[in-house]
Structure 1
Amino acid sequence: MAPTPETLTAERILEATEEVLRRHGPAKATVVDVARALGVSHGSVYRHFRTKAALREAVSKRWLDRTSRALAGIAADSGRDPAARLRDWLAALFEAKRRKAGDDPELFATYMVLTDESGGAVAEHLADLVGQLTRIVRDGVESGAFAVPGPAETEARALFHATGRFHDPCYAREWKRPGVEDEFEAVVELLLRGLAAR
C-alpha cells in the first residue's frame, strides 16, 4: 500500500532517492522517479525538498554524514591515547571511503557527481572531519603526547591533506592496488613520528 502524505518523511524520500540514483544514475534520475518509487505525487516530494537541487544536496549530505558519524566516536574518546586515536581515526576514514567505493561502485560514481554539485555539503563535511582531527591533535598537545609548532587546527588540516591519497575520492582507483595498506601505514607512522613530543 502506498504511503500517505502524512507518513511521508524526508528520510523516506532520501532512502528512495538513493535507490533511484542507484538504478538510473544522476543524469537520468528525476523527482518524478522518486515520487513513483514512493507511490506519491512529485508535489509531495517537493513539499519536503523545494527543488531537485535541494533533494540532491540532501542525499549527498546524508551520504557524507554517515562517514562523519562513524568517525566522531573515535575523535571524542578522550580517555584513549591520542596517537592511537589518530591512527584509528585515519584508518577508519580510509576504510569507510574504500568500502563506499568498492561495495557499491555505481552509487559511488553517482555520489562523485552529486558531491561535485553539492559544494555546501562537501565543505561542511570537510570542516567536520578537520574539526574531529583538531580535537585529537589538541588532546595530544594538552596531554604532552604531541608537540606541534602551530595551532591544533592548522596541524589537523595538514594531517588531513597529507593523508588525502587515502580518503579523497579522486584516488579511489588506487585503493584496490596491492600494497596500498602498507603505504597507508608508512604515511601514518611518518606523521605520528613527526607529531610525537621529544
Structure 2
Amino acid sequence: MSTEPLTAERILEATEEVLRRHGPAKATVVDVARQLGVSHGSVYRHFRTKSALREAVTKRWLDRTTRELSSIADDEPKDAEASLRAWLAGLFEAKRRKAGDDPQLFATYEVLLAENSEVVEEHITELVAQIEQIVHWGVERGQFTALGPDAQVARAVFDATSRFHDPAYAPQWLKPEILVEFEAVVDLVLGGLRLLDRS
C-alpha cells in the first residue's frame, strides 16, 4: 500500500495513465486503485462514481489548454490583432501537440469528450470568453470593427477556426500544408475584424 496521502490530483494522474494503457472501454476504478496501491473504496471517497472520475479527468485535460491560453487573453494587448493571432496559434499548437505526442490518450479523450458534453461545453465557453476579451480590447482601442456584440463575434471566430482545434479534424493536422492553411484562415478572420477605412 502507498504511504503518500491520496489526493484527487494523484487519482487523476493515475487515471490518465490507466486510460492510456487500457483505453476507456476497459479501464476500471479497480485499475486506478491498483496503480495507486490503494483500495478502490479509497478512490470512491474522492470520486463517488466512475462517471464522476472520468468527467474530472476530462476536465483536467481540457483545463490545461485553457490555462495555456489565458496568459495571452489576460494580458491587455497593445495590438489586439497580434494577440488574437497568437491566441489562435496557441490553441492550434496545443491541440496538435496533444494529438501528436500521445495519440493513444488523445483517442481516449475523444471518447470521453463525447460522454461529457457538459464539460466540453464549459471548456468551449471559457475559450470563447478568452477570445471575447481580446475582441473587446481590439474594439475599445479602435483596432477592430464592432461587427456585433463581442460575445457573438468571439463565437464566430471560434467557429470559423474549428478545423484547427476540433478533435474531429485531428487527422488533417498532420498534413504538410496545414500551417499554410491555418495562416490563410486566420488572415481572413483578422481581415474581417480589422477596422474598416471609413475615409
The interval holding the TM-score normalised by the smaller chain is: over 0.9
**Residue segments in structure 1 that go unaligned for 5+ positions in a row:** none
CA–CA distance in 2 between the matches of 1:187 and 1:148? 20
Q: Shift in Å at residue 2 of structure 1?
A: 1.2
Contact preservation (8 Å) 1:3, 1:40: no
Corresponding residue for residue 144 of structure 1: 142
Contact preservation (8 Å) 1:26, 1:110: yes
1:83-102 equivalences under 5 Å are 83-102=81-100
Contact preservation (8 Å) 2:147, 2:193: no
Corresponding residue for residue 178 of structure 2: 180
Q: Shift in Å at residue 189 of structure 1?
A: 0.6
CA–CA distance in 1 between the matches of 2:46 and 2:130? 30
Q: Over the residues paired in the alignment, what is the CA RMSD in angstroms?
A: 0.9
CA–CA distance in 1 between the matches of 2:63 and 2:21? 22
Taking structure 2 as the reference length, the TM-score comes to 0.97
Identity fraction in percent: 67
Taking structure 1 as the reference length, the TM-score comes to 0.97
Corresponding residue for residue 153 of structure 1: 151
Structure 2 residue identity aligned to 1:40: V
Count of residue correspondences: 196
- The partner residue of 1:132 within 125, 130, 133 is 130
**Residue segments in structure 2 that go unaligned for 5+ positions in a row:** none
CA–CA distance in 2 between the matches of 1:16 and 1:3? 15
Corresponding residue for residue 166 of structure 2: 168
CA–CA distance in 1 between the matches of 2:135 and 2:150? 6
Structure 1 runs (4+) deviating above 6 angstroms are none
CA–CA distance in 2 between the matches of 1:122 and 1:160? 14
Corresponding residue for residue 3 of structure 2: 3
